[in-house]
Amino acid sequence: MVLMKVLVYGSLNIDLLFFVDHIASPGETISSSSFERSAGGKGANQAAALAKAGLSVTMAGKIGHDGLFLLKLLESYGVDTSAVIRSDGATGQAIIQIDKNGQNCIVLYSGGNGEITLDEIEKTIAGFNAGDIIVLQNEIVHTGKIMERAKKQKMRICFNPSPFNEKIASLPLHTVDWLFVNEIEGAALAKLPPDTEPQTALDRLVKLFPSAEIILTAGNNGAFYGYGEKRESRGIVKSPVVDTTGAGDTFTGFFLAAREKNFSAAQSLAIAGKAASIAVSRKGAMESIPFEGEVFNIDRHLKN
Ligand code: RIB
């Protein structure tokens, strides 16, 4: 039997975390109570989440020599990093302020994430097969080309349009099989006001992208699922919030892994919610993501 593979083509960032009382306002200088340099990038975080949730994952992207520790960490989770190119430039960087409520504010420098070439994309995707999954976010260049090439390869496409910007609308979104959005991204993609009810945005997205499973996360209002006539939702799993960085990436990885392990959409929402609730109770992005075993009691409970 040929085993399905997951390719995450995405960003790898060095996260510079500043723990502050409040997010700095324009013109204000504030001190941080602590500082950490840690592993992140939406792509790398999602690769880590998928691997920690038990899937076989390859990471593709580009880093500089300063980012080698990211590869070591991903490899320690079982991620195949052979498709991450090393360049002479800098690795992507994220300056992250985390306030006393665990909420964050992020400034990105793309570094290697902005230097991926079409030739590298061609060589990487050629190594995957029909039915394999590709997971994409919006932190690297050529996302549209990657979608088209992956579709030609008959791969299944998972897309998380984050961070959201004006370029998203011009992507070939009809190729997508799973679309993960938060409520702001969902409303923007559905061309609705930002304060639109999550269910309304979800209904519109289901109509706009009929071949995609839509997963919409709505902060304290929980998470919503839509595909065809089917609708599911789950409330949040409460936990002490230390740092929300990477929680969305954890949710995406665990939801997708649960679906691939044949859990229902409702069960997958619950598993992903539990995983994200653990991630927010810890500092950092990639390192805050739980392992399958930490989420597994809910898994087993749901199967019975
Ligand atoms: O989603 C969280 C991630 O966003 C951080 O790890 C940071 O690198 C930014 O890409």
Q: How confident is the model at residue 250 (pLDDT cuts 50, 70, 90)?
A: very high
pLDDT in tens, 251-282: 999 999 999 999 999 999 999 999 999 999 99
Contact 31, 78 (CB under 8 A): no
User: What is the amino acid identity at position 119?
Assistant: D
Does the pTM surpass 0.85? The reply is: yes
How big is the chain, counted in residues? 304
**Cα(11)–Cα(26) distance, rounded to whole angstroms?**
28
Maximum pairwise Cα distance, the chain: 60
Q: How do strand 80-86 and strand 57-63 relate by DSSP bridges?
A: parallel
Identify the three-state secondary structure at position 238: coil
User: Cα(180) to centroid of ligand 1, in Å?
Assistant: 15
Which of 11, 17, 110, 250 has most ligand 1 atoms within 8 Å of CB, for mutation?
11
Task: State the virtual CA torsion across 126, 153, 11, 137 in degrees, nearest 10.
Answer: 180
Structure tokens at 83: 């498709």
Cβ of 45 below 6 Å from ligand 1: yes
pLDDT tens track for 181-219: 999 999 999 999 999 999 999 999 999 999 999 999 999
285 lines ligand 1 (CB under 6 A): yes
What one-letter code names the amino acid at 165?
Answer: N
